[in-house]
Amino acid sequence: MLAMALTGVGQPLQALDLPVPRPGIGQVLLQVEACAVCRTDLHILDGELRAPVLPLVPGHEVVGTVVAVGMNVHTVRIGARVGMPWLGHTCGACPYCREGHENLCDSAAFTGFDLPGGYAEYVVAEAAYCFELPPAYDALHAAPLLCAGLIGHRAYAMAGPARRIGLYGFGAAAHLLLQIARHEDRETYVFVRPGDDLAAEFARSLGCTWVGNSEQRPPQLLDAALIFAPAGELVPRALRAVRKGGSVICAGIHMSDIPAFPYEILWGERSLRSVANLTRADGVAFFEKARRYPLKVVARAYPLLQANQALDDLRQGVLQGAAVLVPGLRP
């Protein structure tokens, strides 16, 4: 099979001819239909996370058709279309797992990081960690739901009943959450990079309440602010934008250093939280909403061989919505 693999940190992905894997006990083999490109993939490629074992096939927003099953698989049938997310395995026995916080399991393994990912024509996954996908979304538009949707929604859920929500960094996750917030009658305040008129117009087209650049204050104090951009300098700005008792939630796996800030902008029982990974319960909750609300998933398709171009477009901030690799698409 064709796979785009990381063979050296900081280097472009290489096209490799690899054997099609075989599913083991509890696993399924997926023929990949689409795999979305995530900023976490950039962090892995750039060496900003712990070093993975190389060569590594990245990609953790995978939509595929089950073409083979291993022993002891009883919940997924051949021919089913499923989603394979970032969380690929947990121990199931540690205190975190037993308390419903499997996202914090110290023995967790993650797709496209510890486990082979979806930048390939085939990939194996543990059946217990795959999701049934809403039939209304084709593969191209379902793929971004597997991370931008799932982990974005975990951040959104941390905001609780917040009525005024700020979104810093308007990309794959934020454009989905804005729509969910609108369906739930919440106000959305979008912050984009200064001069990024395309992102601002994109946010307006989806019906945000207000849009401004990330250096501006919103017209009203927010109940919660969700930060998707990996820029630590946004944290003090977001704290200044939320009311007393409000929360700032950092939704990425990596962020540049947060600069020192005066205690007074945290005081007033404001809270600062991070999001770590996801649980399978998060997936159930999010996909219920994806079925209930007709989400407009904005995605741009790239052939698998153009994975490096997709990653570069994400890095340069020239995308609206999500980049998605499609193995069957010709260059």
Domains along the chain with CATH numbers: 2-148+278-326 (3.90.180.10), 150-274 (3.40.50.720)
Question: Which H or E element spans position 92?
Answer: none
Q: Which tokens hold the place of 30?
A: 């997926």
pLDDT for the residue numbered 330 = 81
- CB of 55 closer than 8 Å to CB of 110: no
Percent over 90 (pLDDT), the chain: 98
Closest among 20, 19, 56, 54 to 41, alpha carbons compared? 56
Give CA 233 to chain center in angstroms. Answer: 21
Closest among 2, 119, 109 to 57, alpha carbons compared? 119
Q: Which tokens hold the place of 60?
A: 């953790």
Q: Rounded to an integer, what distance in angstroms lies between the CA atom of residue 322 and that of residue 145?
A: 10
- Band (331; pLDDT cuts 50, 70, 90): confident
- Band (170; pLDDT cuts 50, 70, 90): very high
Question: For residue 297, what are the CA distances in angstroms to 37, 128, 138, 177, 280?
Answer: 14, 26, 10, 11, 22
Percent over 70 (pLDDT), the chain: 100
Closest among 28, 90, 91, 92 to 62, alpha carbons compared? 28
Q: What is the mean pLDDT of the chain?
A: 97
Span 281-323, pLDDT tens digits: 999 999 999 999 999 999 999 999 999 999 999 999 899 999 9
> What is the model's pTM?
0.95
pLDDT for the residue numbered 160 = 96
Q: What is the mean pLDDT of residues 26-49?
A: 97
Cis peptide before 21 (omega within 30 of 0): no
Question: Which H or E element spans position 324?
Answer: strand 322-326
256: DSSP letter: P
Span 185-242, pLDDT tens digits: 999 999 999 999 999 999 999 999 999 999 999 999 999 999 999 999 999 999 999 9
Maximum alpha-carbon separation in the chain: 58
Non-local (6+) Cβ contacts of 143 within 8 A are: 34, 35, 36, 61, 62, 63, 83, 299, 322, 324
